[in-house]
Structure 1
Amino acid sequence: MVRPIAFLAGLGFVFVLLFSLVTGAIAFIQEPPKPTVEHEFHLHPKEVSFASDGPLGKFDRQQLQRGFQVYKEVCAACHSLHQVAFRDLEGIGFTPAEVKAIAKGWATEVPSVNPDTGEAATRKGTPADKIPAPYPNEVAARAANNNANPPDLSLMAKARHDGGAYIYSLLSGYQDQPAELLKQFPDAKTPASLHYNPYFANLNIAMPPPLAADGQVTYADGTVATKDQMAKDVAAFLIWSAEPKLENRHAAGIAVLGFLLIATILAYLSYRNIWSGMKH
């Protein structure tokens, strides 16, 4: 008795699924979904290459230092980098003395406690400190940025699809709204408090163009600081901040592949030697 009931219940379940599938397909054909402004005008990241790309990729430390300079002089005014300590900057080619000077001269001091009174205080940074956030808390960050909370950039290159290419495209992709967009979607005009960027998910972003003009940063190595160059350099730096051990991972992967190749050859030769006298 139980089996027939179970069979009928299963048959009813399959019927309901098929009915839902057929009715959904008919509805889709009769009334296809209307295109949205995001679907029509959102762009995939630009084609861009970095020295760290690919299984043999290695960081260009001169580029990373330029990218850090862009972060320090432009991005650090709003965005934190709380997963990176000052001493980690030795990984991009700075000497211990340079790291100490960077930490001590950072614009935002490190939160601390007055040892005499126990009250909150601040002090100069040391190499062991994490890079301090520009705002004490989220409320202060929103109050200073039109209620938008600037995200931490430590892992941004891993948190977004296409990582460095996305960051580069976003920073270099600010533009005026296309006339075709306003023609197709008259109600989609970018609000006065936002900025049009086709590489951002919903096309309108609260962050003003951070790289507003060529020469905004004067590179220590003499590289010409065009907007495109600055965007590429800071994107490379954020790829490093998201995965500072990338070169070690690449080296370990190549070593493992080499070991497996040698082990496979030895196993094959052993097989031939052991079974060489056997007749098929």
Structure 2
Amino acid sequence: MLRSILSLGAVLAITACGGRESSDQFVGFTDEPLHQAHAHNDYLHERPLLDALEHGFMSIEADVFAFPLLGDALYVAHDINDIRPGRTLRTLYLEPIRQRIDTLGALQSGQDRPLQLLIDFKSSAESTWRALDAALQPYASYLTRFENGRIVEGWVSVVISGNRPTQTLASAGQRLAFIDGRLSDLDAPPPNDLMPLISDNWANHFDWRGEGAMPADEYDNLQQTINSAHLYGYRLRFWNTPDAAGPARTALWQVLYDLGVDHINTDDLAGLAQFLRNQAPRD
């Protein structure tokens, strides 16, 4: 592993001059924000952040690595071998967010709640948190924060998934980030000012993949899970749901939507945006 990190460091040192800030920052506002739309692995799209915002998404996910041997930047990538100069959390997300708010006054038209930036730690929890905490400080005025025992909302709420520094954040009197929980946390629920979101692997809890009707016992289990999460003030998201366009995906999305799952996970921005905008208005 150390050899791969050292080799990667050499590549970054040689090619660092090739990195550049993301461009075309100011995509147009959509008709209304899509609060249930979550852009899974958002950084794989042609324009990270910007494509999701253009489709109205209000929840966006980025995987990050921190390695002291590579400097203090957080690199956005799914695997260590995918790390590239210039593709950092600051250049792909934090700076474009700041510039958009400064220029347009919001991230989405009529924005009335924070955009969720879900940051999935791929490197060790504590070292990655130290790097993230430092990276967030210059943007503190734009971010939801916890201080003096209460939450002060900003334009963006940062939630940490993956290798999570849960105890470190739980003991912090002030912080600019929150923790993504798991369904097992419902057995001993942490305060929602620490853990506002619960995410879990759909396949670990449900066999139904959208083919035919959802079995009654699984439907009841899903409804009870949603009710339990909401009882404690958590939002709920499942990953590893079917994401290939077709009737099965639509059927599963419809159940998630109808039962009130807070974030529907997808790599297909246009597909989920169209699905959500086709839904009848709720009372």
For normalisation by structure 1, the TM-score amounts to 0.24
Q: Which has the larger radius of gyration?
A: 1
